[in-house]
Amino acid sequence: MILSAQTIAGHLGGTVEGNPDAEVSSAARIEYGKPGTLCFLANPKYEKFLYTTRASIILINKGFELKQPVEATLVRVDNAYQAIAAMLDLLNTVKMQNKRGHSWRSKISWKAKLGKNVYVGAFAYIAKGAKIGNNVKIYPQVYIGENVCIGDNTVLYAGAKVYAGCKIGADCIVHSGAVIGADGFGFAPQNDGSYKKIAQTGIVVIEDNVEIGSNTSVDRATMEATIIHSGVKIDNLVQIAHNVEIGENTVIAAQAGIAGSAKTGKRCVVGGQVGIVGHINIADGTQIGAQSGVSKNTVENAAIAGSPAIDYAKNQRNIAAYRTLPQMRDEIQTLKKEIEKLRKKLTE
């Protein structure tokens, strides 16, 4: 897809500074820009590349002041970071629209229902009772179990697995290796020390506009449903246990784990490698720092960090104090020696 600066400006509501007929067909980071690529500048620390890049078109904020001439055509927008996200989405959408048809190497049950313009790649399997919406893209080796429902415009990349009965909404993305609906980790201890598996009879419900990263697992509920509400973005290698509920527009970074029946509110931010214990409530707007261990309910808009997680500012003070512990230990040892000398003098 080839786009001119004028077309890009019109799409973004921006203004062109330079050649309105300059064209691009792909995007690149500003430090690696070359002719025919679209770049952006949002972080000031990359400003030096603005004057050296060979990119054809650069998105910058309207209020940005140039310190020297720029060879590339500029498209000034309200927010360059949001603008590049919109352009990447447009370029990706065009690419995705080229995927059509069903591979003869795929297996689709005659009892499954597929909407219009559905793409099914080689060795994908769609079981009976499945309902697939319009414009869905199912890449090679995807498994879709019995009675699964998938909404319009959703994409399942190669190797994703969706177990029986689970529901995925519209405009979702499920990346390679993700598993939706595997059994929750439920085992009952027996008198002889062994464990008996507890049947996981529920499902997973994923609402609209959700993205699930590669090799992430969302377990089915023991009963009823594990629920991922609309707008949630989950990174790679995340574990969502049975009966968890994730609130709208929450983001979860890589390697986080959320134990069974925990609930997060809306607009939460969960850092990488965070662990959240089961059966607690994370309130709306909570921000959790990376590698934190959360074992208690939180209040709205709290910022917490550490393990166990506490108020973010208090945790930072604790970290600062921790760094001085070796010095404090040396000072205490010195004081102990001085005290011992004084004690000996007093007893002489």
pLDDT tens profile 52-90: 999 999 999 999 999 999 999 999 999 999 999 999 888
Q: Tell me the Cα Rg of the chain.
A: 27
Sequence-distant contacts of 96-105: CB under 8 A, at least 24 apart: 96/137, 96/155, 99/137, 103/140
Using CA of residue 19, residue 20, residue 22, residue 28, what is the dihedral sign? positive
Domain that holds residue 168: 107-313
What whole-number distance in Å separates Cα of residue 289 and Cα of residue 337? Answer: 41
- In order of 6, 53, 270, the CA distances from 47 in angstroms are 23, 10, 30
Instruction: Select from 40, 62, 97 the last residue of a domain.
Output: 97
> Taking phi first (over 0 means left), then psi (-120 to 50 degrees means alpha), and beta for anything else, what does residue 188 get?
beta
Q: Are residues 145 and 277 in the same domain?
A: yes
- Inside any domain, residue 102: no
Q: Are residues 152 and 285 in the same domain?
A: yes
> Which pLDDT does position 94 carry in this prediction?
60
What whole-number distance in Å separates Cα of residue 193 and Cα of residue 198? Answer: 16
Q: Are residues 281 and 326 in the same domain?
A: no
Q: Are residues 93 and 116 in the same domain?
A: no
- Inside any domain, residue 29: yes
Q: Are residues 244 and 129 in the same domain?
A: yes
Q: Are residues 270 and 296 in the same domain?
A: yes
Closest C-alpha to 103, from 127, 126, 84, 120: 120
- For residue 266, give the DSSP letter: T
Cα 63–chain centre separation: 30
**What is the three-class DSSP state of 168?**
strand
Contact 243, 260 (CB under 8 A): yes
Structure tokens at 100: 């059509």
**pLDDT per residue over 282-325, tens digit each?**
999 999 999 999 999 999 999 999 999 999 999 999 988 888 88
Which helix (H) or strand (E) segment holds residue 162: the answer is: strand 161-162
**Interaxial angle between packed helices 80-97 and 5-12, expressed in degrees from 0 to 180 and rounded to the nearest 10:** 110
Instruction: Select from 97, 117, 137 the last residue of a domain.
Output: 97
Closest C-alpha to 17, from 58, 55, 52, 50: 58
- Written as tens digits, the pLDDT of the chain (348 aa) is 789 999 999 999 999 999 999 999 999 999 999 999 999 999 989 999 999 999 999 999 999 999 999 999 999 999 999 999 999 888 776 666 567 899 999 999 999 999 999 999 999 999 999 999 999 999 999 999 999 999 999 999 999 999 999 999 999 999 999 999 999 999 999 999 999 999 999 999 999 999 999 999 999 999 999 999 999 999 999 999 999 999 999 999 999 999 999 999 999 999 999 999 999 999 999 999 999 999 999 999 999 999 999 999 999 999 888 888 899 898 999 999 889 888 888 877
> Which pLDDT does position 2 carry in this prediction?
87
Backbone angles phi and psi of 220, in degrees to 5: -70, 155
Instruction: Select from 97, 126, 155 the last residue of a domain.
Output: 97
> Which pLDDT does position 95 carry in this prediction?
62
Q: Is 279 a catalytic residue?
A: no
**Structure pTM?**
0.80
Which helix (H) or strand (E) segment holds residue 288: the answer is: strand 287-288
Among candidate residues 11, 102, 242, 279, the one labeled active-site is 242
Structure tokens at 112: 């499954």
Tokens 């917490």 sit at which residue? 304
